[in-house]
A and B are shown apart, each in its own frame.
Chain A
Amino acid sequence: MWEIYALAFLMIVGSLVAVHTRYLLSAVISLAVVGLALCVAFLYLQAPDCAITQIVVEVIALIILIRATGVERDLLEIRGKKEVFAITATFIFIIVFAAFAFAALTYLPKFGYPVMKVAQEYVKKGLEQTGSANLVTAVLLDFRAYDTLGEATVLFTAIMGAIVVLREVGRKEK
């Protein structure tokens, strides 16, 4: 169990570095570290489907972000005058939010003993009702196939939106 704690601390440190660094390219690389620690944490939590998808999707996301930050050369963080009131108000809000969340998260079932009411049926009858050995695929494409149809629709819509926004090919400013 100490492995998952260590990976969670690595994620916290990596995201703190990504928030505070001045160079945008370094922030993108710290984001890569967070994603990689998340993938290894998925492997320790016995979720190999999610680990494969996370590492492959993270590579594509890094390429897209580097394309966005490479528009200007050496893009730096913008330092205006520090607004003291906004920063202290944010800190107070975050501390209050964290205190309430800490009290609320104790009502969840203990870590490692989930309440599997619906999933128990999927696990017991998955192989004989669908014939597929991978239970996650059986849930995704047979028991809950309607959600996969909705996900395909959302993917199509978002990609169509991105193509429409950048529509003119090779447009040059006159």
Chain B
Amino acid sequence: MSPYRETKQGMTRIVKTIAKFVMPPVVLFGIYMMLHGHLTPGGGFPGGVIIASAFVLLVLSFGREVTFQKLRVSTASILESVGALIFLSLAVLGMVIGGWFFINFLPKGYPLKIISAGFIPFANIGIGLKVTGGIFAVFLTLVMFRIVAKR
């Protein structure tokens, strides 16, 4: 049997089963919203928060100790930094290739197709990774802090 079924912490068995099945479609929906930011409402910001909330669901339903073996704070920090570096490098590449800072240097394409609008899909991916890493890191820090309150 898997080790996480026998631990006494976290929520009941029903919640653990449903959370295990619901989490991949939520991550898929977040990735869809990040990639289609230039066609439908959404973009990098809500997509990143949706993926972070899927990870938060895992931490809430399986308990603290079990989830920290798989997802650590360092993973979230690396995600956040990679997202910020992607966004910044797109800006500096615009200055190198085109004329000035943040110019849209990729071709524009046909409207309403997914490969269009210059570098906007890549910028959305960078922003989404940054928001995911940030919100998950701050949630892990708030959860890990143990307060012993004595009077």
A residues near B (Cβ < 8 Å) are 48-49, 52-53, 56-57, 59-60, 63-64, 67, 71-72, 127, 130-134, 136-138, 140-142, 145-146, 148-149, 152, 155-156, 159, 162-163, 166, 169-173
Smallest Cβ-Cβ distance to A163: which chain B residue: B141
- Complex Cα–Cα for A130 and B39 (A): 12
A166 to B108, CA, bound (A): 45
Closest A residue to B38 using CB positions: A132
B contact residues, range? 35 or more
A131-B116 in contact (CB<8A): yes
Given contacts A130-B108, A132-B116, whether A57 and B149 have CB atoms under 8 Å apart is: no
Q: A170 and B127 in contact (CB under 8 A), knowing A133-B39, A163-B138?
A: no
Majority secondary structure of chain A interface residues (helix, strand, loop or mixed): helix
Q: B84: shortest Cβ distance to chain A, in Å?
A: 6
Contact, CB under 8 Å: A49 / B42:
yes
A-contact 0/1 string along B26-54, CB 8 Å cutoff: 00000001000111111101100110110
Picked from B60, B91, B108, B138, the residue with its CB within 8 Å of the CB of A162 is B138
Whether the Cβ atoms of A130 and B138 lie closer than 8 Å is no
Interface residues as binary, B52-75 with A (CB distance below 8 Å gives 1, 0 otherwise): 110010001000000000000000
Query: Is chain B's interface secondary structure helix, strand, loop, or mixed overall?
Result: helix
Q: A131-B111, A132-B116, A169-B144 are in contact. Are A146 and B138 (CB under 8 A)?
A: no
Q: How far is the CA of A152 from the CA of B138 in the complex (A)?
A: 15
CA of A35 to CA of B147, assembled, Å: 30
Please give me the residue from chain A that is nearest to B48 by CB atom.
A56
With A163-B138, A172-B148 known as contacts, the answer to whether A56 contacts B123 (CB < 8 A) is no
25 A-B residue pairings within 8 Å (CB atoms): A49-B42, A56-B46, A56-B53, A60-B56, A60-B139, A64-B139, A64-B142, A67-B142, A127-B111, A130-B117, A131-B109, A132-B38, A132-B117, A133-B39, A134-B40, A134-B41, A134-B43, A142-B120, A145-B102, A148-B127, A152-B87, A155-B130, A155-B131, A159-B137, A172-B146
Q: Which 10 A-B pairs have the closest CB atoms?
A: A131-B108, A132-B117, A132-B38, A48-B41, A131-B117, A159-B134, A52-B46, A56-B49, A49-B41, A173-B148
Contact between B118 and A130 (Cβ–Cβ < 8 Å)?
Answer: yes
B8 at the interface (CB under 8 A from A): no
Partner of B120 from A59, A137, A159, A163 at Cβ < 8 Å: A137
Given A53-B45, A127-B111, A131-B111, A149-B91 contact (CB < 8 Å): yes
